[in-house]
Amino acid sequence: MIKIQKVSIFNKNIRWLLLFLGIVVAICIGKIFIKNNSIPGWVKWNDKEITFQNNAFTIKLFEKKIIVFDTQKNEVFKTENKLKVQDVILSDIDRDGKEEIIALVWKKGKFGKHRPFWIEKDEEKYSQHLFIYRESNDEKTIVPMWFASDTGLRIKRIKPFEKNNSIIMVEDIDDETTLWAWDSWGLKKIDNTVEIVAFGDNIIHEAIYRYAANEKNGSFDFLYEPFKEEIKNADIAAVNCETVLVDNKNSVSGYPIFGSPVEVGEALINAGFNVISCANNHVLDKGKNGIDLTKTFFDNHGITCIGIQNSNDTEYRPYEIMRKNGISISMFSFTYGTNQGDTSKKYPNMIHYLPRTENEEEKLLQDLREAKKESDIIMIFVHWGDEYKEEITDYQKHFADLFAKGGADIVIGSHPHVVQKVETLERENGGKTIVYYSLGNFRANQGQSDSTKKGAEAKITLSYTFDGARITDNELIEINSYWK
């Protein structure tokens, strides 16, 4: 009897264990089913009311549905019950002059209005879509225009691109922003990043220009060959042109009074540089004629040349604006001084010097504020510091802080001929200023030490985010700057 009782208790325990395991399995399966057939908890459902620019229709988003009313407040359109609308915006997505309704929608199934013929049945789980609606041809109601398949992006929010109402901005739950534009039949992702590379001092010493004349038939393309692919791949490639250009062979010279053949300018362009910073201590080595020739040469080739102006310019232009992939960058260039005297009184606009008085500093801050109104990013090239010193000076620190105060985002330093540190300064408004105090040499015949034989390349990525353009990546890469 005792043995039978033990077996009975054992069997009863087994049954309870199996029942428990069955419940656990059922719960797990239920959770998986619910997860696959429900809308994620991170989704924020919006309620809003917006009106077409022509006032023809008013859109009301309420309780996950879109309802459209005409000017008489008659309901002319309503989204289907099977659609759950997360958000809605207006955008002239097809650039026809009329706004379309862009709806961020959840529905069961991966496909839009139609599925591919080889797919027998759509899925049952919810997925996220972008649906586009437009005015009907008789302008009395709203009709479907385009239904996208599953976005695959896990979109958190959408809005029209501030600079172009035919582009929409999308931000996913990882805070990654993408831009989308209409392309014939559907939305196409467009590039919203700008890749910048910047290099230090480009100095054409006598040994370099003699080698070019004797061995390369006067061409300087060989100098930039090691960096050509990287420069070409960048949206913006900038360099400090330490020596002005001359078009007379008799004017070509090296240290201490530099004058480089115009073929140097041609080589810089051939390499892919599109920004040339010219405010430096050697820019006056060949007088105003050297500045005029250099500025005119780069301007005529469509290159953004900053830091100098033609001697006959009557208006001071402190910055130039470049626009790439929807991002605008204001570019400044300054030097602490010039070796061959100071012409600022006779030619006040020709060379962009760093401020020397409190009034001039206030004028600089005003220029920076004006640039901020016109652009997304401010980038400053500055010739400063002590030659061959890796430590930054109080003078550099003072102006770095001043630039940050004015809202500069990027500062690229030159002149020391050695690499100095990179520092991120916190601005009062919460922004950040990245300061590359010195990139050292780029191409030079300064082989006296390891410090002058190596330089640095600044690589910076700008991205247009949901809250505006900002720096999303930056690094400093060591390069071999010795030309041999």
Domain assignment of residue 405, yes or no: yes
Three-point CA angle 43, 44, 49, nearest 5°: 140
235 and 262 together in one domain: yes
The parts of the chain modelled with pLDDT lower than 70 are 1-37, 111-122
The CATH number of whichever domain residue 149 belongs to comes to: 2.130.10.10
Q: Would you state the pLDDT for residue 402?
A: 99
98 and 214 together in one domain: no
Among the three residues 137, 160, 190, which one is the final residue of a domain in this structure? 190
207 and 161 together in one domain: no
Q: Would you state the pLDDT for residue 20?
A: 64
Which domain does 140 fall in, by range?
48-190
Q: Considering all CA atoms of the chain, what is the largest pairwise distance in Å, rounded to the nearest integer?
A: 122
Burial 374-398 (b: 16+ CB within 10 A, else e): ebbbbbbbbbbbbeeeeebeeebee
Q: Would you state the pLDDT for residue 34?
A: 44
Q: Would you state the pLDDT for residue 40?
A: 95
329 and 197 together in one domain: yes
Distance CA 242, CA 455 (A): 15
Burial 219-232 (b: 16+ CB within 10 A, else e): bbeebbeebeebbe
Among the three residues 169, 190, 211, which one is the final residue of a domain in this structure? 190
Domain assignment of residue 12, yes or no: no
The CATH number of whichever domain residue 459 belongs to comes to: 3.60.21.10
411 and 267 together in one domain: yes
Q: Which residue has the tokens 């239904």?
A: 147
Domain assignment of residue 42, yes or no: no
Q: Would you state the pLDDT for residue 5?
A: 53
236 and 294 together in one domain: yes
Domain assignment of residue 295, yes or no: yes
Three-point CA angle 450, 453, 341, nearest 5°: 115
Domain assignment of residue 8, yes or no: no
Q: Which residue has the tokens 């009301």?
A: 60
Q: Would you state the pLDDT for residue 30?
A: 47
Instruction: Report how many domains make up the chain.
Output: 2
pTM given for the model:
0.85
Domain assignment of residue 328, yes or no: yes
Please count the other Cβ atoms lying within 10 Å of the Cβ belonging to residue 368: 22
Please count the other Cβ atoms lying within 10 Å of the Cβ belonging to residue 185: 8
Cβ–Cβ under 8 Å, residues 412 and 239: no
**Among 193, 244, 199, 247, CA closest to 223:** 199
Domain assignment of residue 376, yes or no: yes
357 and 427 together in one domain: yes
Domain assignment of residue 55, yes or no: yes
Distance CA 150, CA 173 (A): 16
Q: Would you state the pLDDT for residue 50?
A: 97
Among the three residues 190, 220, 241, which one is the final residue of a domain in this structure? 190
- Kindly state the tokens that stand for 30: 């239920």
